[in-house]
Structure 1
Amino acid sequence: MKIIVPMAGRGSRLRPHTLTVPKPLIPVAGKPIVHRLVSDIAKVLGEPIEEIAFILGDPAFFGDDVVESLTELAEGLGAKASIYRQDEPLGTGHAIMSAKESLSGPAVIAYADTLIRADFDLDRKADSVIWVKQVDRPEAYGVVKLSEANEIVELVEKPKEYVSDLAVIGIYYFKDVGQLKEELQYVLDHNVINGGEYQINDGIKRMMEKGMKFVPGKVDEWMDCGNKDVTVETNQRMLGFLEKDGEELVAPTVILENANIVEPCFIAEDVTIRNTTVGPYVSVGANTVLENSTIKNSIIQSNTKIMNANLDNAMVGNHVVFDGKFETVSLGDYSEMK
């Protein structure tokens, strides 16, 4: 089994945090989004992963440190890491074809901007599984249309009239991803463009037209990391899941001085907390200092100092100095507010 991870986008909706760090490497509940996604997929697949192919963007932004981090992730799961580049942002289909040397055999394709909780039950008789989640506003999503046999017969992007309430979440299984590669090559060669880009859906639709069997897979939880507010919400939900799983979330090297932690919280190594209440639903990165503050439902990254703060629904980057009485903030790396 292979895992293919397109992650070349800059994450503009999550600025200023993605001005210095690619969105898939933003930490949620103490672990970068892409690390958590890939690890969770590998866990629920329940079979050896031979290769993980990461599709990155501009090397000036997705540099050697990103490559090193992703290589360690793959090797930690017993897999080979392959690194590809999408030189231009020409769509989901174009991104996947940037990794065409790895497009063979059984594979999961997963876009690195969401997190899931699921038990994958692969239908080995199907040519593909497309994972979906029931949503309240299907008109805001791409959805699947099902036949009476519970097979996917159509993909509809943001339907104006009701088709179904099952939204495509961006995770796909292909019994032979080489078949998708063949159809996406046709899309590229014949300049089949939708929304100004080459789309994975156009390759999938060609597979459907040839009679290949697509079935839905369902996830228990689907969590977005598209902007600050939903990322903070996802952090909250993930901490709740990890607490139920019995994970140890507070590092043994945390220094507490007249401090109170209201669980669940993730507190990384060598954090100092003085005269402060932290939690619930707070993630704090390594080597951070929190003083004379109350912080809840927030993400605080590494090497940051926060003083005299009352924070809720906040997201604070790395190497930040924050001293003030602000409440809802979103501060990127190396910011100072004194």
Structure 2
Amino acid sequence: MKALVLAGGTGSRLRPLTHTGAKQLVPVANKPILFYGIESLVEAGITDIGVIVGETEEEIHAALGDGARFGAAITYIRQQQPLGLAHAVLVAREFLGDDDFVMYLGDNFLVGGISALVARFAEERPDAGILLTRVARPREFGIAELGPDGGVLRLEEKPEEPRSDLALIGVYLFTPAVHEAVRAIGPSKRGELEITDALQWLIDQGRTVRPTVVSGYWKDTGNVDDLLEVNRSVLESVESGVEGAVDAASEIIGRVHIGEGARVVRSRIVGPALVGAHTTVTDSYVGPSTSIAGHCAIDNSEVEFSIVLDGSRIEGVGRIEASVIGRNVQVRRAGRTPRAHRLVLGDHSRVQIVP
């Protein structure tokens, strides 16, 4: 079995972060979200992986390399325009050949991996397998309607009048039957070749599309709120450890990992939290559900339930919460400070905060 990982989207819902980087490489718990998907595939025994790339191809390639670091072999497949998930299958036809494959959206996060799902699919080999979960806003997703026997009756992409609250998770399993389906469909109203239409074509042709309702944790990290929530979830399992230095005037509470070369001075850190390598935290408070990447500086400030990317500095700004700070950002005191700040800053931003 092969895998097709989609890493070519523009990440419009995560702007301005994604103006200067691939959305799949935005980190949660100091690791790019894309890495979690690759690791999940390898854990399931799938090591022949095709990665669909677009305008951010160079950045994705630099991050993943040839796949050896994951125990995989990666082939890069260029999709010139983001014309839909079914279009990605068309573009990858030569790579996929006549093998079964898993299609995995690179900005999705699924707790527990997919090993059991892959094993079941390989044993039973329906024409396609889909994962479903209940969502609060079904108009924003591909939605499945199931019959009394639990089989799939109908699939629709972002319906105006949803027939259920069961959304398709960004992990699909296919036999080569899907290649006929993606060739048979036409563009949707959005101008894309929808994978939901290809699946519906299989259903209409009497093929077997087997649903699995997932009760565990899943998130599409396409917006800031979900990104922060995934970061919180991953940090719940962080292992405590101090590889750097913590002075006697500092207090470390709960599950906190201090990276190599990091320094904590006259500060309080309450976990779960991560402090990256060669980062300094001075006269500050770092609260739960916060990940701070490497080579950052937090000085005379409070940061909680936030993500701070590499090389950023937060100095004398009071309290920041529920925020995502991009790479090499500077947030400094200016004139007058409100009690709390909520920020979404792109890479290389410069912000002055009123004291």
Relative to the length of structure 2, the TM-score reads 0.84
Say which SS state the counterpart of residue 154 (structure 1) adopts. Answer: strand
Q: Counterpart of 2:200?
A: 205
Structure 2: distance between partners of 1:107 and 1:96: 10
Say which SS state the counterpart of residue 34 (structure 1) adopts. Answer: helix
The letter of the residue matching 1:113 is D
- Contact conserved, 2:327 with 2:347, CA < 8 A, in 1? yes
Matched, 1:183 2:181: yes
Q: Counterpart of 1:57?
A: 54
> Comparing 209-218 with 11-20, which one deviates more in the overlay?
209-218
Ranked by relative contact order (alpha carbons within 8 Å, sequence separation 6 or more), the top structure is 1
Q: Counterpart of 2:84?
A: 91
Q: 1:308 to 1:247 in 2, by over 3 A?
A: closer
Say which SS state the counterpart of residue 337 (structure 1) adopts. Answer: strand
In the TM superposition, residue 162 of structure 1 has moved relative to its aligned partner by 5.5
Give the unaligned 5+ runs of structure 2: 241-253
Give the unaligned 5+ runs of structure 1: none
The letter of the residue matching 2:178 is L
Say which SS state the counterpart of residue 253 (structure 1) adopts. Answer: coil
In the TM superposition, residue 95 of structure 1 has moved relative to its aligned partner by 2.1
Tell which structure's C-alpha radius of gyration is larger.
Answer: 2
In the TM superposition, residue 247 of structure 1 has moved relative to its aligned partner by 9.0
Q: Counterpart of 1:260?
A: 268
What are the superposed Cα offsets for residues 39-63 of structure 1, whole Å, 9 maximum, x if unpaired?
13433x3xx22311111112xx331
Say which SS state the counterpart of residue 118 (structure 1) adopts. Answer: coil
What are the superposed Cα offsets for residues 101-147 of structure 1, whole Å, 9 maximum, x if unpaired?
22231211011222111354333322222011122343443221223
Q: Counterpart of 2:342?
A: 328
The letter of the residue matching 1:299 is I
Which of 200, 209, 213 is matched with 1:214 structurally? 209
Structure 1: distance between partners of 2:192 and 2:298: 45
- Contact conserved, 2:5 with 2:50, CA < 8 A, in 1? yes
- Contact conserved, 1:183 with 1:206, CA < 8 A, in 2? yes
The letter of the residue matching 1:293 is S
- Contact conserved, 1:55 with 1:96, CA < 8 A, in 2? no
Structure 2: distance between partners of 1:50 and 1:40: 10
Structure 1: distance between partners of 2:42 and 2:213: 17
Structure 1: distance between partners of 2:303 and 2:25: 23
The correspondence of residues 138-287 of structure 1 with structure 2, limited to 5 A, is 138-161=138-161, 163-174=163-174, 176=175, 178-187=176-185, 191-219=186-214, 220-242=216-238, 249-287=257-295
Across the two proteins, how many residue pairs are aligned to each other?
325
Q: 1:200 to 1:328 in 2, by over 3 A?
A: same
What are the superposed Cα offsets for residues 224-259 of structure 1, whole Å, 9 maximum, x if unpaired?
312223212221122124469x99843243211111
Q: Counterpart of 1:129?
A: 129
Say which SS state the counterpart of residue 93 (structure 1) adopts. Answer: helix
Q: 1:217 to 1:56 in 2, by over 3 A?
A: same
Structure 2: distance between partners of 1:261 and 1:155: 47
Structure 2: distance between partners of 1:230 and 1:107: 27
Matched, 1:117 2:106: no
What are the superposed Cα offsets for residues 282-329 of structure 1, whole Å, 9 maximum, x if unpaired?
111111111101100011000111101210011111111110246111
Say which SS state the counterpart of residue 308 (structure 1) adopts. Answer: strand
- Contact conserved, 2:143 with 2:168, CA < 8 A, in 1? yes
In the TM superposition, residue 161 of structure 1 has moved relative to its aligned partner by 4.9
Structure 2: distance between partners of 1:334 and 1:141: 33
In the TM superposition, residue 79 of structure 1 has moved relative to its aligned partner by 1.7
Q: 1:82 to 1:248 in 2, by over 3 A?
A: farther
Q: 1:154 to 1:83 in 2, by over 3 A?
A: same
Q: Counterpart of 2:250?
A: none
- Contact conserved, 1:49 with 1:78, CA < 8 A, in 2? no
Structure 2: distance between partners of 1:118 and 1:163: 28
Say which SS state the counterpart of residue 294 (structure 2) adopts. Answer: coil
Q: Counterpart of 1:308?
A: 316
The letter of the residue matching 2:227 is T
Structure 1: distance between partners of 2:4 and 2:41: 11
Matched, 1:294 2:302: yes
What are the superposed Cα offsets for residues 261-298 of structure 1, whole Å, 9 maximum, x if unpaired?
11001221111111111121111111111110110001
Q: Counterpart of 2:247?
A: none
Structure 1: distance between partners of 2:256 and 2:313: 24
Say which SS state the counterpart of residue 101 (structure 1) adopts. Answer: helix
Name the Cα RMSD after superposition. Answer: 2.3
Structure 1: distance between partners of 2:297 and 2:160: 50
What are the superposed Cα offsets for residues 143-168 of structure 1, whole Å, 9 maximum, x if unpaired?
21223332223213344556332211
Relative to the length of structure 1, the TM-score reads 0.88
Say which SS state the counterpart of residue 65 (structure 2) adopts. Answer: helix
The share of aligned pairs that are identical, in percent, is 30
